[in-house]
Amino acid sequence: MTTIQEFKANTKVLMFDQYGTVVDMQGGLIEVVTPYLKSKGWSGRPAAFVTWWRRTHFENSMIDALLHREHTSYRRIGEISVDYTLERAGIPHTGEEVRQLVAQIEKLRPFPDVPAALARLHTRYPLAVLSNGDPDMLEAARPYHGIAFDHIISVATAGAFKPHVATYTTAAQIVGVARERVLFVANHAFDCIGAKAAGMRTCFVDRRQRPFGQWPYQPDLVVADFNELAERLA
């Protein structure tokens, strides 16, 4: 059995999902949509609306990846998904309103435990992001999350959304290390599964206290939050 000391010694880069792992996507989007939905007279729960939005976005991104056609931008997938969610909820809307809602993804803030934990981890490891977001969206997000990542990588480079194997192999090539020397950290089981299947080691951040599922690609570490991750690895 690998000890934590051996695990740390063999890890050369920490790589993170951004949306929902580094930044609080659910909480941030709830703050954005609450006044918007109120202005529309919608009586449903903003949290439910955001969940519909995010699930639809995930489904649409998987459809796009499986089509094996030209990669659709994250922004465009977001606009299709928000438009669909608003229509499903029976909320009249304009194209500009859809675009403004999607643009708020660029302004999401990190979870409270993230900045200090990553600053601590950065004293030992290079830090990278591998995100489904578009390059310009990830660049625009820098001043809002404030993390000094050494690499910010968009899946657009690989031409597919995670968990396509090409996204992880391309990211490892960009950071210049063997895949087994990368520890990929995500709040989403699907992302950990994809990274592990591609040959990386993985850490599941179980913020939501949900089962991982009986996949053969189990995470190498499970932590409650970034404080525990830093405590284990820094």
Calpha distance 127→130 (Å, rounded): 10
The string of pLDDT tens digits covering residues 194-233 is 999 999 999 999 999 999 999 999 999 999 999 999 999 9
CATH 1.10.150.240-classified regions of the chain: 26-107
Give me the pLDDT at residue 1, please.
54
Burial track 159-168 (b if 16+ CB lie within 10 A, e otherwise): ebbbbbeebb
pLDDT lower than 50: segments of the chain: none
CATH 3.40.50.1000-classified regions of the chain: 4-24+109-233
Classify domain 4-24+109-233 by CATH number: 3.40.50.1000
Query: What CA–CA distances, in Å, run from 159 to 56, 63, 171?
Result: 20, 14, 12
* pTM, full prediction: 0.95
The string of pLDDT tens digits covering residues 22-35 is 999 999 999 999 99
Give me the pLDDT at residue 3, please.
77
Give me the pLDDT at residue 7, please.
81
Return all residues near 20 (Cβ < 8 A) that are at least 6 apart. Answer: 26, 187, 188
Can you identify the CATH homologous superfamily of domain 26-107? Putative phosphatase; domain 2 (1.10.150.240)
Cis status, amide bond into 35, omega within 30 of 0:
no
